[in-house]
Amino acid sequence: METFKTLTYHITGRIARITLNRPERGNGITLDLPRELAACVERANLDPAIHVIALSGNGSGFCGGYDLVENAEGLLTGQENPDRPKGSPLDPLVQMQNHIPNTAWDPMVDYAMMSRNVKGFMSLFHSDKPVVCKVHGFCVAGGTDMALCSDLLVIADNAKIGYPPARLWGSPTTSLWFYRIGLEKAKRLLFTGDCLSGKEAKEWGLAIESAPPEQLDERFEVLLERIARMPVNQLVMMKLLLNQSVMAQGLHSTQVIGTMLDGMTRHTKEGYEFQQRAMAAGFRQAVRERDEPFGDAGLSTFKG
């Protein structure tokens, strides 16, 4: 069995379980995660015994977004990660560290890098078999890409889900907010960067169910077991039927725009000022200062 760096994969009965497994880093997204995620989804799809995929996270929360803190702090000492391909979200920080002009940024290199991550996250959406995601604690920034690419979301009442980088230095690359909750509600979240509680996510139609934290696992398993009773061929057909309606609305084009805009957000005047502040005071502090005017600086404990 293949050993993964960022997650685990195991099977119980008709359920394939993918679990994000870097709890010490808030299950922060690295370059390995989207690739490993796609590999696990493919493994489940090729296994005739699997009917449904369960996605969850170990530790205090589901996912805190891209793990920028560790890499950004490394840059402060001038130690660039040699394993990080060029074109990642941290390249602007590297440029500043090395005094390379900002014009060195290549938007198409940036797009090529981030679009590969989108393809990894979208493996959940394109999976032949249904994917049910369980969110506890927090699911913010890039972590929402995985939750929204899943077919169904079960969330703890007190969890937080949203995209705070809409305030500065980010655009949702999978761009599924409109398709999941509609235009007006998507604008409400992305015009403010606010998060929803689990209860609110259920009320807004983002989650199919919310539950008290102590009942979350039970409700998650009940739904998984009911889906697992269905014949695999029926599940595949139902997912194809429903997903084509989203694709017909232009999801792929929206994702191209969203991914390009994500690069642009990191290269505005405000974006460069944010990068400079992150280098001077640390990434966590820069995020805390970004969020303080909105009264929810507690989210600065998340990764990106």
The tens digit of pLDDT for each residue in 45-69 reads: 999 999 999 999 999 999 999 998 7
Report the Cα–Cα distance between both ends of the chain, in Å, rounded: 31
Domain ranges across the chain: 7-301
Write down the CATH superfamily of domain 7-301.
2-enoyl-CoA Hydratase; Chain A, domain 1 (3.90.226.10)
What is the rounded CA–CA span in Å between residue 205 and residue 185?
10
Chain-wide mean pLDDT for the chain?
89
Query: Over 80: is that where the pLDDT of 5 sits?
Result: yes
CA dihedral 243, 244, 245, 248 (to 10 degrees): 130
- Are 54 and 135 within 8 A, CB to CB? no
CA distance 229 to 162: 32
Count CB neighbours of 252 within 10 A: 11
Q: How far apart are CA 70 and CA 248, in angstroms?
A: 40
Phi, psi dihedral angles at 159 (to 5 degrees): -70, 160
With bands split at pLDDT 50, 70 and 90, how would you rate the model's confidence at 297? low
- Comparing 93 with 33, the larger pLDDT belongs to 33
CB within 8 A of 128, min separation 6: which ones?
45, 236, 239
Pairing mode, if any, of strands 52-57 and 131-135? parallel
- Contact indicator for 257, 173 with CB cutoff of 8 Å: no
Residue 300 scores a pLDDT above 80: no
**What does 216-270 look like in DSSP terms, one character per residue?**
HHHHHHHHHHHHHTS-HHHHHHHHHHHHHHHHHTTHHHHHHHHHHHHHHHTTSHH
10-38: pLDDT as tens digits: 999 999 999 999 999 999 999 999 999 99
DSSP class per residue in 92-117: HHHHHHTT--GGG--HHHHHHHHHHH
pLDDT at site 70: 57
Reported as a single tens digit per residue, the pLDDT across 221-268 is: 999 999 999 999 999 999 999 999 999 999 999 999 999 999 999 999
- Position 171 scores a pLDDT of 97
Asked if the model's pLDDT at residue 82 lies above 60, the reply is: no
